[in-house]
Amino acid sequence: MAGLAAAHELATSGAQVVVLEGSDRVGGKLRLGEVGGLTLDLGAESILARRPEGLDLIRAVGLDDRVVHPQTITASIWTHGALRAMPPTVMGIPADAAALAASGIAAMPEPRILPVPAEDVSVAEFVTERLGRDVLDRLVEPLLGGVYAGHTDHLSLHATTPQIAALGEDLLASATASRASATASGPVFAGLLGGVGQLPTAVAATDGIEVRLDATVRAIVRTADGWRLSVGPTTDVESVDVDAVVVATPAPAAARLLAEEVPDAAFALAAIDYASMAIITFVFDDAIVPEGSGFLVPPVDGTFIKAATVSSNKWGWVGDSGRTVVRTSVGRAGETTLLQHDDGVLSERALADLRQAFGSLPDPADRVVRRWGGGLPQYDVGHLDRVATIENALAGVPGLEACGAAYRGVGIPAVIASGRAAARRLLDAGTLDA
């Protein structure tokens, strides 16, 4: 989506854009697929509505009449043998002592009042020193696991949870005050009737954008008046000459492409790790499941799945099918052996967890496993320094930009913002006649 957002920004400013897509489809981790006769999202299925970039792009490509909002976002934590209502939090930091106590999820901590360090530290170090391990393990960890598929012992405080750092010295008091002073600001999340996987295709259809599929870029070389790209299979490489380039690939591929022209950026990119995960979607004909949008699972409890979303509760257009649709996710950073099981084993183990959490479930009418190998960049401690190194190195190379989830946010609005910013830098520099 970052590359498509950059292409859209450039094309609507008058540039002629070619999108060189290495796979057989556009959209990255936005993807539609059929499960049990229903067309559903097999990748990301919601957009943060409180950032404008996602909804702005939806409007720009004419999909605004399909915008929908969740019917429920009430989530649970599956821990201590039961589904327990998640109390109000700020990224897992308790904001209501009574609700936390009633939930039975974690013991109310005795907070330590400590200053926020100037240097970057892990989320685990920061939270544990102030609130203890129980809050970290059973509230913060499952939330971040759902977003980054990572571990708080490694994830950067400032890159992944600036909201926690902003609470200051007294986390509990500030979280409680933040909730008390919060005002309604509209829906938190949005989706599209029929799935957010429609967005990439709509963006790619913008006038001025040419999309070439199965067009792997193997090298980027500077020329006297622009850039030359080596494109296609090794047995039939084609040279494509362009005025400017936006590299919108995951960090490992970007590191290889930039190694010759921008070695400092390539070195920093190579230090960004990725986590693999899978989403397993089940469709049931006759299943009774609890109300609410789903649940998160603390990894300390040792379950196979890390989260489940009851899509037929969450999205009206899915529920209108009359079927019960449940999405489960598995896999975190470092759990490569878990994902080496075949699809049948993954789905059976996920289904066993669902049956334990929900009490009982019939056999599904259909199930689909969608693997996202290397799907989520890990914002480990020091991530923002690495990003600054990349950005500073690229700033000295006219006509070359980079964008994507590896830099300053993994959500849909964040990557759209990354792509648009890369395009604007090219346009503002006068690199293109647009």
Are 330 and 278 a contacting pair, CB within 8 Å?
yes
Tell me if 215 is assigned to some domain.
Answer: yes
The verdict on 265 and 386 lying in the same domain is: yes
Are 283 and 35 a contacting pair, CB within 8 Å?
yes
Is residue 180 scored above 80 in pLDDT?
A: no
Tell me if 335 is assigned to some domain.
Answer: yes
- SS3 label, residue 257: helix
Look up the CATH number of the domain holding residue 46: 3.50.50.60
Tell me if 258 is assigned to some domain.
Answer: yes
**Range from 36-40, 162-166, 243-247, 334-338 carrying the lowest mean pLDDT:** 334-338
Q: How far is CA 310 from CA 74, 192, 351, in A?
A: 11, 16, 13
What pLDDT digit, counting tens, does each position of 285-336 carry? Answer: 988 999 999 999 999 999 999 999 999 999 999 999 999 999 999 999 888 7
Segment holding 218, helix H or strand E: strand 217-223
Tell whether pTM > 0.85.
yes
Tell me if 77 is assigned to some domain.
Answer: no
The verdict on 310 and 349 lying in the same domain is: yes
Look up the CATH number of the domain holding residue 111: 1.10.3110.10
Look up the CATH number of the domain holding residue 332: 3.90.660.20
Segment holding 294, helix H or strand E: strand 294-296
Nearest to 301 by CA among 29, 82, 47: 82
Q: Which domain holds residue 405?
A: 2-70+190-272+379-428
What pLDDT digit, counting tens, does each position of 326-373 carry? Answer: 999 999 988 878 899 999 999 999 999 999 999 989 999 999 999 999
Tell me if 221 is assigned to some domain.
Answer: yes
Are 281 and 305 a contacting pair, CB within 8 Å?
no
Q: Structurally, how many domains does the chain consist of?
A: 3
The verdict on 400 and 366 lying in the same domain is: no
The verdict on 253 and 285 lying in the same domain is: no
pLDDT confidence tier of residue 182, bands split at 50, 70 and 90: low
| Angle (CA) 206 212 214, round 5° | 140
User: Which residues touch 163 (CB under 8 Å, ≥6 apart)?
Assistant: 90, 91
Of 131, 161, 181, the one marking the end of a domain is: 181
Tell me if 150 is assigned to some domain.
Answer: yes
The verdict on 141 and 225 lying in the same domain is: no
The verdict on 56 and 198 lying in the same domain is: yes
